[in-house]
């Protein structure tokens, strides 16, 4: 990919939270129309429709099956559609979907790709949700029989990180507080009504020591969409294209025992060359970023990813977040939609929501959360049990 070869020109999103009456089909059709309208194009210009995989199936009318069999282009009237498919890499789906879109654009078959995510969890019983989600990411043969949970994995990483860097649990909790402050500015966030404090986060019910309920994310219904095109077309149809300036990726493992990183305490050392490469490809540095859109899912992971950016001394980001500098009004805006912890965990959609928020910020459409004059940002995502990591530098202009 050449820097600035592709651009995102429009986004759509529905409120995140408990909406049992709203089916995934309704979400998908709604966000698709909104993204196309926002992009200022006609739906007939869409030549490819990509769907994110949803999680947990309703056997009576399975969303994944319907999307794989081409329901979406037909339902939204994308009569010029030539290609449709589903792409998934769990939490990293925002990246794999975008890469697929880039490949299709690069092939020349079409110059306009629509990407859609929709998820509804709330119609499943708490037992079904617990069964699925508590063990998601854990290996069914080697971990699940021993009572392993995703929260326990994040808890171990948190313990290791705190021991290694001297970060306090209060500093870890302050990530949740900062995320909540951003979510308070987001009309579509699940938790946008009430501020939380470090004290409240630390004293909430213990889930997996040292993580409390407020340090673990909650499943939510939601969805979002974006329209991607070539830079050439983007310039013609909108005054506000958001360019993909540089990307870099790495895959580490499926089973945590096979992680490519030496250990999870030093995960930032594993991540930092990936971030560096993304910056290099964009021709920019971490200090050029106006926003840092960090996908962590857990507060400690946000700190580890921040440590990897080459912007702050590794191990000091907990103190930085605690100081309020990453909160609204701070010097370094981090994760401006509140992410999984406060925006809501929509399965494969957490990273897609963060990408959509990144586009809104760079288009000046982020409402109350708008970072004034934002030109460049870095965004990351990853899936599985920290199986991979992808960094993307985006901007509303192509640097020199």
Partner 1 sequence: MSKHEPISIEAIKAMMNLTDEDLKKPLPVPTKWSRPFWEAAKEHRLVLRKCSRCGNIDHPPYLYCTACQADEHEWIEASGKGTLFAYAVNHFGVPFPFWADLPYVRAWSTSPRGCA
Which class for 211: exposed (0-12), middle (13-18), buried (19 or more C-beta within 10 A)? buried
The candidate with the shortest Cα–Cα distance to 78, out of 45, 121, 100, 109, is: 45
Smallest gap from residue 267 Cβ to partner 1 (A) = 12
Smallest gap from residue 20 Cβ to partner 1 (A) = 18
In the set 94, 119, 151, 249, which binds partner 1 (CB under 8 A)?
A: 151
Smallest gap from residue 157 Cβ to partner 1 (A) = 7
Which class for 396: exposed (0-12), middle (13-18), buried (19 or more C-beta within 10 A)? buried
In the set 31, 55, 113, 157, which binds partner 1 (CB under 8 A)?
A: 157
Site for partner 1 in 74-113 (CB under 8 A): none
Smallest gap from residue 154 Cβ to partner 1 (A) = 8
The answer to whether 328 and 185 are in contact (CB under 8 A) is: yes
Backbone dihedral angles phi then psi of residue 125, each to the nearest 5 degrees = -70, 155
The answer to whether 155 and 210 are in contact (CB under 8 A) is: yes
The structure tokens 């929709």 sit at 118
The answer to whether 159 and 210 are in contact (CB under 8 A) is: yes
C-alpha span between 250 and 274 (Å, rounded): 7
C-alpha span between 97 and 109 (Å, rounded): 17
Q: What angle do CA 367, 370, 375 make, to 5 degrees?
A: 135
Backbone dihedral angles phi then psi of residue 268, each to the nearest 5 degrees = -60, -35
Question: Which one, 87 or 159, has the nearer CB to partner 1?
Answer: 159
In the set 74, 79, 203, 313, which binds partner 1 (CB under 8 A)?
A: 203
The candidate with the shortest Cα–Cα distance to 294, out of 282, 311, 277, 269, is: 311
Site residue total, partner 1 (CB under 8 A): 44
Encoded one letter per residue, x for contact with partner 1 by CB under 8 A and - for no contact, window 161-200 reads: --x-------------------------------------
C-alpha span between 309 and 273 (Å, rounded): 9
Smallest gap from residue 155 Cβ to partner 1 (A) = 3
Question: Which one, 79 or 131, has the nearer CB to partner 1?
Answer: 131
The structure tokens 């400690």 sit at 300
Question: Which one, 65 or 206, has the nearer CB to partner 1?
Answer: 206
Site for partner 1 in 218-257 (CB under 8 A): 255-257
Question: Which one, 115 or 154, has the nearer CB to partner 1?
Answer: 154
Smallest gap from residue 263 Cβ to partner 1 (A) = 6
331 binds partner 1 (CB under 8 A): no
Encoded one letter per residue, x for contact with partner 1 by CB under 8 A and - for no contact, window 111-140 reads: --------------xxx--xx--xx---xx
C-alpha span between 55 and 132 (Å, rounded): 9
For residue 395, give the 3-state DSSP assignment.
Answer: strand
Question: Which one, 65 or 213, has the nearer CB to partner 1?
Answer: 213
Smallest gap from residue 114 Cβ to partner 1 (A) = 36
Of 91-99, 105-113, 260-268, 284-292, the window that binds partner 1 (rule: CB under 8 A) is: 260-268
The answer to whether 227 and 47 are in contact (CB under 8 A) is: no
Residue ranges binding partner 1 (CB under 8 A): 125-127, 130-131, 134-135, 139-142, 144-149, 151-153, 155-157, 159-160, 163, 203, 205-211, 213, 216, 255-259, 263-265
């Amino acid at each position: 990919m050449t820097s600035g070869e592709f651009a995102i020109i429009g986004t759509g999103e529905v409120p995140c939270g408990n909406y049992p009456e709203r089916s995934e089909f309704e979400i998908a059709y709604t966000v698709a129309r909104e993204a196309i309208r926002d992009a200022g194009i006609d739906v007939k210009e869409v030549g490819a429709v990509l769907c994110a995989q949803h999680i947990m199936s309703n056997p009576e009318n399975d969303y994944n099956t319907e999307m794989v069999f081409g329901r979406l282009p037909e339902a939204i009237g994308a009569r010029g559609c030539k290609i449709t498919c589903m792409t998934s890499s769990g939490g990293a789906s925002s990246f794999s979907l975008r890469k697929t879109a880039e490949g299709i654009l690069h092939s020349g078959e079409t110059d306009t790709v629509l990407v859609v995510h929709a998820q509804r969890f709330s119609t499943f019983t708490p037992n079904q949700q617990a069964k699925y989600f508590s063990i998601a990411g854990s290996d069914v043969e080697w971990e699940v029989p021993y009572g392993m949970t995703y929260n326990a994995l994040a808890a171990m990483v948190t313990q290791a990180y705190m021991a290694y860097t001297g970060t306090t649990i209060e500093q870890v909790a302050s990530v949740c507080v900062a995320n909540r402050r951003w979510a308070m500015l987001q009309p579509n966030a699940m938790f946008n009504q009430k501020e939380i404090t470090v004290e409240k986060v630390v004293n909430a019910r213990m889930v997996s020591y040292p993580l409390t309920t407020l340090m673990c994310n909650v499943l939510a219904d939601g969805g979002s969409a974006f329209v991607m095109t070539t830079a050439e077309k983007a310039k013609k149809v909108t005054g506000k294209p958001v360019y993909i300036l540089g990307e870099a990726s790495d895959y580490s493992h499926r089973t945590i025992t096979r992680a490519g990183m030496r250990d999870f305490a030093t995960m930032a050392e594993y991540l930092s060359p990936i971030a560096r490469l993304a910056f290099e490809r964009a021709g920019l540095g971490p200090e050029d970023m106006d926003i840092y859109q960090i996908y962590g899912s857990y507060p400690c992971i946000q700190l580890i990813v921040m440590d990897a950016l080459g912007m702050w001394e590794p191990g000091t980001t907990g103190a930085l977040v605690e100081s309020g500098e990453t909160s609204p009004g701070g010097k370094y805006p981090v994760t401006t939609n509140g992410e999984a912890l406060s925006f809501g965990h929509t399965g494969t959609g957490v990273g897609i929501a963060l990408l959509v928020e990144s586009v809104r910020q760079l288009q000046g459409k982020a409402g109350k959360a708008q970072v004034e004059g934002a030109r460049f940002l870095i965004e990351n995502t990853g899936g599985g049990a920290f199986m991979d990591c992808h960094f993307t530098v985006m901007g509303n202009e192509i640097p020199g």
